[in-house]
Structure 1
Amino acid sequence: MLSSFVRTGLAVVTLGMCHFAASAGEGTLDERPQWSTHFQSNGQPITGTVAIVDTRTTPPAAACFNHERATTRFSPASTFKIPHTLIALDAGVVRDEFEVIEWDGVERSHTPWNQNQTLRSAMRHSTVWVYERIAAKVGIAKEQTYLEKINYGNRTTRGAMPFWIEGDLSISAAEQITFLRKLHTNSLPFSEAHQRLVKDLMIVEAGKEYILRAKSGWNGQLGWWVGWIELPSGTVFFALNIDTPNGMADLPARERITRNILNSLNALPINNR
């Protein structure tokens, strides 16, 4: 689906021994080598990382699998739709979740993209052409200003378009969690109404005692799943990325690995899909 968007360049961020800027201050991600059992497919290891911050404890428990990779920056791919939606709303290029974004009539390989969209459907179906149009309307200079304002990853719009897939923009799993924690508390430099709206668009599923908000991403080589689970006892944030050498066949592993780890932490009902 995104084979034309493959990017080979990766950037590494030096953050020390898994230190990252959490919303409440500096934190340390403790290694969880036992989570390696979840990074398997048909008996073969899957190369990747996951970072978890569990606020059900005081102070929050922060852990990861694969220290080095947890602080390595990669293309955010479609996880960038989270901040990009905030940018679109703040810049006024999209009014709200009800505004119809007209399809350009170009047939694309992913059928749900071949129709009119709203922010809700574009988030659900990860409709790249919608966000390419948003970027064109916002303008690269203003996009750059927003990235610096929210301190997102390496804060660059350089490289090929779309810059969040083929360009040089990159972010680590640890940095994803830092950003998500700010969004969760409406602490980003956007209106509270827009932050609440984006969080609503991120809802994947909900039960009587939990809400799961998340966004996937894929650039052809690397897959993401980032988000958080809201529970009565607190919120658990997660950011996972894996290599996808087998293309789309590897994509289900993003959710499977994350959900299994969250299950092991009693952070998600065991009977979730």
Structure 2
Amino acid sequence: MRKVAAVLLASVCTLASASEPVVDRPAWGKYFSDAGVTGTIVVVDERKTPATTLVFDRERAARRYSPASTYKIPHTLFALDAGAVVDEFQVFKWDGVKRTFAGHNQDQTLRSAMRYSTLWVYEGFARQIGEPKARAYLRSIDYGNADPTTSQGAYWVDGNLRISALEQVAFLRKLYRNALPFKMEHQRLVKDLMVKQATSDWILRAKTGWEGRYGWWVGWVESNEGAVFFALNIDTPRRTEDLPKREQIVRAVLESMNLLSE
């Protein structure tokens, strides 16, 4: 057990600066138990220097899962860079195939495809980008296991791509700073597409993801005090019934940190 704990601690520390403390938050377990789900959350608070990494369920936070639709964040950068999409105004015509989610059954732009997690738009990007280039992009940003292979279905949902909650936050911190190897205007556009809520004091940028067995909510809150990043991963045994709990738990955690007040 001590050896396993040491490995997990090393995994956490490699994703944060050596000078940044990592603190367990067992009290956050109440938010998961109140919601009746199992999961993990990683929060990096940059409002003070050095930043602090706060974790509930450190073991799960280091475990990799399919990113599902949270992958639309880096995937949009790849599509812009590869020329699979020109800008946020380009229209992708609906093919007329009725899908489960009503928001998918219409023409799309980047903004609507991000909002509705429109899978068919991003499947089109994947075909245009191709596996070799996708692998190169993934490696260039050190995204999880950087494996875009699949025997069937979208590789970020049904394939081999995997990422941990800790790695999700590490990626988001780079995006926040426009520090990824992509054009600054593309990184700024992706961040604009991620806006979930805004007041005069703060902006919440976030993206959901759902593989079927588990779900994500990742993003950050930015204000004049600095940014607070988060990545939540929960099991979803009751499927769609559990999906609202992703945002519910994250908001409870952030509110306990005096964030998201209006």
TM-score by length of structure 1 reads: 0.90
Report the equivalent of 2:157: 165
1:79 aligned to 70, 92, 112, which one? Answer: 70
Q: Which of the residues 48, 56, 60 maps onto 1:65? A: 56
Instruction: State which of 197, 200, 205 in structure 1 corresponds to 2:192.
Output: 200
- Correspondences of 1:9-28 after superposition (within 5 Å): 16-17=8-9, 18-22=11-15, 24=17, 27-28=20-21
Q: Hey, what's the Cα distance between the residues in 2 that align with 1:206 and 1:62?
A: 24
- Provide the residue aligned with 2:144 in structure 1: 153
**Count of residues in Structure 1 that have an aligned counterpart in Structure 2:** 255
Stretches of structure 2 lacking an aligned partner (at least 5 in a row): 1-5
Equivalent position amino acid for 2:32 in 1 = F
Question: How many Å apart are 1:41 and its aligned residue?
Answer: 3.9
Question: Aligned match of 1:33 in 26, 45, 64?
Answer: 26
| Structure 1 portions without partners, runs of 5+ | 1-13
Identity score, percent: 52
The structure with the greater share of residues assigned to strand is 1
Secondary structure of 1:16 counterpart: helix
The one of 228, 232, 248 equivalent to 1:240 is: 232
Alpha-carbon distance in 1 for matches of 2:172, 2:87: 21
Specify the code of the residue in structure 2 equivalent to 1:192: M
Counterpart CA distance in 2 for 1:263 and 1:222 is: 24
Q: How does 1:218-257 map to 2 (within 5 A)?
A: 218-257=210-249
Distance, in Å, in 1 between the alignment partners of 2:22 and 2:210 is 24
| TM-score, structure 2 normalization | 0.94
> 1:268 and 1:19, CA in 2 relative to 1: closer, same or farther beyond 3 A?
same
C-alpha displacement at 1:247, in angstroms?
0.4
**Could you tell me how far 1:214 is from its partner in structure 2?**
0.2
Secondary structure of the structure 2 residue equivalent to 1:80: helix
Per the alignment, residue 118 of structure 1 pairs with 109
In proportion to residue count, which structure has more helix? Answer: 2
Cα RMSD for the two superposed structures: 1.5
Q: Which amino acid aligns with 1:180?
A: L
> How far apart, in 2, do the equivalents of 1:96 and 1:27 lie?
37
In 2, Cα distance between the equivalents of 1:138 and 1:205?
Answer: 31
Q: Distance in 2 between matches of 1:181 and 1:164?
A: 21
SS at match of 1:109: coil
Contact persistence 1:19–1:27 (CA under 8 A): no
